[in-house]
Chain A
Amino acid sequence: MENQDAWRITDRLQAEHGKGDPFAAAVRATRMPMIITDPRLPDNPITFANDAFLHMSGYAREEVTGHNCRFLQGPDTAPEDVARIREAIESRHDVSIDLLNYRKDGSTFWNALYISPVVNEEGELQFFFASQMDVTERKLTEMRVLEDKDRFERAVEARTRELKEANRQLKSALETKTTLLHEVDHRVKNNMQIIASLISMQMRGTTDEIMKASMQTTLGRVEAMSTVHRRFYQSGDVARFDISAFVRDLVSDLIAASGRGDIAVRLDLTPIAVPAEKAAPLALMVNEVITNALKHGFAGGRGGTLRVVSARDGALCRITVADDGHGMPAARKGPATYGKRLVERLGRQLQAEIGWHGAAPGTRVEISLPIEQRGRGA
């Protein structure tokens, strides 16, 4: 009872402007809300509350003194927080907790509450001392940060879902495109085969040797186009066309078709990938020159060597077709045949330079063209 009396005395002393116990005066005057409760009285009532506490809670001193401080709780105060406090008080431990409290006017504030038991020298519980602090600002900021984080995470999740969906659609569109490309490729190849078959069957039924030879030339041109299409998707790159692989196939087919065992072939081929749009004209041109060498250079049972070279020369592609056969007859220097006109026209389309040289023996044709298409104005 001595201590309780002491506090009463300090209470009275307040009127004397903090004279007496300097510690008591400090507790009275501090801006930190503080209360003292007496667990030895029924329901552990408040026996002292400083001005800061009254200011924070909005109650008058006589409204709080003698009451248990649960009047600070309200409907939204977390029951588990209250339970923690009760437990600490029952087991005489200190406790630190952020608690939602209510002022007299019903407004709420976050209270950083710290309660600790006060015992005397004999170890008997005397009081509970509780300090409070209005931490509403900090608490709201924390909650806002949490909310922002939550909102941000939800936004990231939503965006990730959108991106995944977009990726799936893109993948499916790409698959559709690839399927279509394969389908078109398949049809083109099949149709090229049908066109060549129609010509070859017509040719088979023709008895006129001149007409037959003419149709053979046409079939050769169509088959050159077929070889282009067969080669097209074998490389895996649909935008480029390797002219050397085409030449290898073409020469091997033409020699096989000629049935000539007396013509040796020398190929010196550097792979050169030209843009896809050059494939058909270049193939037709090379077919024309090589067919010509076989037909005229090695005519009349004259054997020899056919040499084909593909080489890269800076931005240029050089193709050489040389035979050691008969050489260009005077007649072939006269009015250009359809075959030669075709080569010259294709040469213009490809911006190629074509040189026909007598090679003594034989003929050498040199084709030189830019690998990439040059602007027409350049």
Chain B
Amino acid sequence: MIEIKDLVYEYMTDEQENKVAALDGVSLKIEDGEFVCIVGHNGSGKSTLAKHLNGLLQPTSGDVLIDNMNTKDESKLLDIRQKIGIVFQNPDNQIVTTVVEEDVAFGPENIGIESGEIRRRVDESLKLVGMEKYAKNAPHMLSGGQKQRIAIAGMLAIEPDILVLDEATAMLDPIGRKEVLNIVSELNKKKHMTVIMITQYMEEAVHASRLIVMCKGKVMMDGETREIFKHGAQLRELSLDVPDIVALRDELILNGVKISNNAITETELAEELCR
């Protein structure tokens, strides 16, 4: 379980040494096995929050606890980092070797897993992301979506309980984006991995069961995705948009078409309309 208590993170802007709070009193609890999406526009603090989860950044005040281990406790950092894997935006910055399977093995090797077990984990991870055929390939010959899947496989080989995707689909094309989303949805369903997806794309949020909306370092909304999307006006005030399908649904209701305000995907809306 992740517990964040009154988290504040301030940094100096270089000119007048004014302090800016990138995170301004964030408190959250995320249970094991949840699929959470965190949205907010640039500068909302969502990526800063992600970097606190494994101690890459340390709070100015407040606490971040992962299974009751505080990220401030340096002796626990290695344990924490084996529990949480973070995949970042640019796959090219996360690939370190010249052969796919060696790259996936890099993590478990570094935490001292014995070689037979590494072999097993590498094979399994590559299979989970559907890249087993590319084990001997060179990463730079792969597409962006494939590289990002390799980065995810590298995380899975550490066998984390929690997978964090920090705008991991932003540089991918629509197909690559779908590939990554499908894989993390599967991991969440089948392996009960906790998934925290940080994104600017509201369309991606429909995959998560819980949606957290951030603005100016604060949590503005937190709840079931479907419920949050019923508050279009509030989202627009935070200069975020509801997905196009939800916007259309609301317009239809305003125009007197008798449908419920539950549908958030095109399939669901089509079904409502056929009733």
A and B: partners? Answer: no
> Interface residues, chain B, CB within 8 Å of chain A?
none
Q: Which residues of A contact B (CB under 8 A)?
A: none
